[in-house]
Structure 1
Amino acid sequence: MNFSYTDDQASITSALNGFVASTLLAGYMRRDRDGMFPEDAWQQMAEMGLFGLRIPGEYDGQELDCVTAGLAIEAVARGDFNLCYGILNSAFVGDLMARNASEPLRREWLPRLAAGDARISVCLTEPHCGSDAAAIRTRAERDGDDFVLNGEKASVTLVMAADAGVVFARTDPDAGSRGVSAFLVPLDAPGVTRHPYADMGSKCILRGSLFLDDVRVPEANLIGKLNGAFGSAMQTFEYTRALIGLMCVGAAMQTLEETIAYTSQRKAFGQPISRNQGVSFPAAEAWSRLEMARWHCLRTLWLRDQNLPHNAEAAVCKGMVPEICVDVIRDCLILHGHYGYTQDLPIEQRLRDVCGQLIADGTPQIQKIIIARHLYGREFV
């Protein structure tokens, strides 16, 4: 086993570290206060190729391996956790469309996605079902060469800034998870409306609801086989859950490093507070937990690159790693004392932002079910 970076990985992470320190971290708190879509930073990331990491080269992407994409998203999270959603969404959509969409649809959208010229949201969750994704009620009914979509999608990342959405809709009402299809829906189509949420964190990603009222899309916008989208989506989640884990690790590790620097300089009773084991031991424990989490996420992506099973490993990345990272950031806030609770430092914001990943893309409870089924078999869990 070789845990060293390849030359490409070392070059990419080195370039990103400079960009993160000079550009992303400096604007992190301002973007939270503005609550606006971060257009300037988004374009800078696009110029660095960050939205095409996993998109095939024939569609102007970087076509990099999963581990390298993970290293990139971890680095970006150190500067601005929320900008990682651009990488995460493009990874999900790019993977899904590259494997399943028609050639004309790929040619139309993937180069624009890689260039940052198009933003595509993933529209799966509905008001009555998040974890039970197979229970969606949004309908797509065939009408000649078109499908007509009706329904409501909830908790859609970037929906207020997106150009299109991959909308999962029921095309066979009696087939359960085997009756779900995916469609590329331009969000300027007649019958589409959007409503923003007022979230506690990750404000600039403009999460919200999507309403579809007799929205007509051509059959050519079907992604993959009719009634075959659910399995493809679940396979893609296995990959993006490891990316989410590394997003959280990046934000938490940056916070820990800032805390180590602060507690080394902050003095009480005539000495640095780091000389107290009540300060240094939590830092040691936090670093240990983050290192274990980080390497587990990277191993999961390595398994993906090798086409080896990684369903349970991905569930650990999503079910356990965000909890570890939220705990670390909370403890770092406490080690800063009352100053950590202010908005003069980015710690409270990272806590708010990372908390969202306790819920998104599958709750901890769902991930534990996946892990338990891996251990016992589905018939026992």
Structure 2
Amino acid sequence: MLDEAEREFAEAARRFARARIAPGYMARESTARVERELVREMGALGLIGADLPEALGGHGQPSVMAGIAIEAVAEADINMAYVPLLASLNGQIIARHAEPGLAREWISRLVAGEALACIALTEPRGGSDAANLALAARREGAEYVLHGEKSSISMADQADVAVVFARTGGAGSGARGVSAFLVPMDLPGIAVTRFRDLGSHAIGRGSIFFDGVRVPAAHRLGEEGAGFVQVMQGFDYSRALIGLQCCGAAQASLDESWAYIREREAFGAPLAQYQGVSFPLAEGEGMIAAIRQLCYHTLRLRDAGLPHTAEAAMCKWLGPKTAVEVIHQCLLTHGHYGWSLDLPHQQRLRDVMGLEIGDGTAQIMKLIVARERAGRDAVQHARKT
């Protein structure tokens, strides 16, 4: 599956993640922050923005390398894996659509771990209907003025910069009236809140409020009205990365569970000898291995410039769903120990569950697959009848 250079990179990433990231996984739930010094260490090792253009401060590697980094980090802490994932998602949009000087400034900072990025698309009335935006961007000379709210934004209160999608067209302009902007989070008029969520506390999720925020017109990403197409193309990428993020978390619980049933005895024998204990873990290994293959296949399609929308949707649908089921089984395998807050399975379960919602629900992903395979017109006709 991986060539020699990719395997070497994966091994180096895992060594670092196990030594530096994994020991703090459970503690980060209490601090509810990612450590900036640790992020800078990740940047120095090339774990952030491996896929971003070298000319703009990235490493110029295939997107498969970004997936390898994200899976390795997620094995240690699924939350820390958001850092390279959001850097790649936002960085690709910035690299393709920002003015070169602006792109070089922010991509170099993201790759070095000197800055964190978030993507601001979802709004209180939106969600799955991603084009239904109310946040307005009004042109005033050499600036745009932003008014409105973004909601359910990962890393809202930690990000240094946001890729923000706003309505520049009229109320009835739909997706064609959406534009994208690169917005530093320290501009006057920006306020943030943090939600009280079930999991992913180290990353956090919240609302961003824009009250007359003035953004230079040079910070618009691409043509006016082209923002929705940009984000939809980006999601084809991030959905494969999220699948690998979930595989990493599930693999960590599987590895811990295999070690546990080798050591734990019942009725005079190791638990591993009982098929009722070992078979569910074997099933989990098979499912995670299959999804991992699908995710890397999707990234290789992307690197080859081939269509991969349906495959990306499959990654996003199957990855979180299966990881939740596998981690839940690992928790049960540990018996009454698994029910303790002292073990990480309960935290991983809560952290992964949020990805069943964020970046597209299973229902939306299945709709995308159906459109790609049957055709958009056929699917829309079926919904009307």
Any idea what SS the aligned residue of 2:198 has? Answer: coil
Which residue of the partner structure matches residue 376 of structure 1? 374
Which residue of the partner structure matches residue 155 of structure 2? 158
1:358 aligns with 2:356: yes
Residues 233-272 of structure 1 mapped to structure 2, 5 A cutoff: 233-272=231-270
Which residue of the partner structure matches residue 205 of structure 2? 207
Percent of matched pairs sharing the same residue:
46
Amino acid at match of 2:73: V
The Cα of 1:273 is off from its aligned counterpart by 1.5
1:105 aligns with 2:99: no
The Cα of 1:343 is off from its aligned counterpart by 1.7
Which residue of the partner structure matches residue 12 of structure 1? 9
Any idea what SS the aligned residue of 1:83 has? Answer: coil
Q: Distance in 2 between the 1:321 and 1:89 partners?
A: 18
Q: Distance in 2 between the 1:83 and 1:147 partners?
A: 33
Any idea what SS the aligned residue of 2:148 has? Answer: strand
Q: Is contact 2:48–2:66 with CA below 8 Å preserved after alignment?
A: no
The Cα of 1:95 is off from its aligned counterpart by 0.5
Residues 108-257 of structure 1 mapped to structure 2, 5 A cutoff: 108-173=105-170, 174-257=172-255
With structure 1 as the length reference, what TM-score do the two structures score? 0.97
Q: Is contact 1:37–1:206 with CA below 8 Å preserved after alignment?
A: no
Q: Distance in 2 between the 1:313 and 1:45 partners?
A: 29
Any idea what SS the aligned residue of 1:242 has? Answer: helix
Which residue of the partner structure matches residue 33 of structure 1? 30
Q: Distance in 2 between the 1:337 and 1:210 partners?
A: 41
Any idea what SS the aligned residue of 1:148 has? Answer: strand
Any idea what SS the aligned residue of 1:343 has? Answer: coil
Deviations 1:321-379 (A, max 9, x none): 21011000000100000111112111111101111110110011100100111222111
With structure 2 as the length reference, what TM-score do the two structures score? 0.96
The Cα of 1:284 is off from its aligned counterpart by 1.1
Select 1:46's aligned residue among 37, 43, 46. Answer: 43
Q: Is contact 1:38–1:204 with CA below 8 Å preserved after alignment?
A: no
Q: Is contact 1:194–1:209 with CA below 8 Å preserved after alignment?
A: yes
Amino acid at match of 1:252: A
Any idea what SS the aligned residue of 1:27 has? Answer: helix
Any idea what SS the aligned residue of 2:191 has? Answer: strand
Q: Distance in 2 between the 1:17 and 1:165 partners?
A: 29
Select 1:279's aligned residue among 272, 277, 280. Answer: 277
Any idea what SS the aligned residue of 2:156 has? Answer: coil
Which residue of the partner structure matches residue 331 of structure 2? 333
Amino acid at match of 2:103: R
Pairwise CA RMSD = 1.1
Any idea what SS the aligned residue of 2:166 has? Answer: strand
The Cα of 1:140 is off from its aligned counterpart by 0.4
Amino acid at match of 1:223: L
Q: Distance in 2 between the 1:34 and 1:222 partners?
A: 35
Stretch moving more, 45-54 or 249-258? 45-54
The Cα of 1:130 is off from its aligned counterpart by 1.2
Amino acid at match of 1:360: G
Amino acid at match of 1:22: A
Deviations 1:204-251 (A, max 9, x none): 113211000111111000011110011111011001100000000011
* Aligned structure 1 segments of 4 or more residues deviating by more than 4 angstroms: none
Q: Distance in 1 between the 2:185 and 2:57 partners?
A: 23
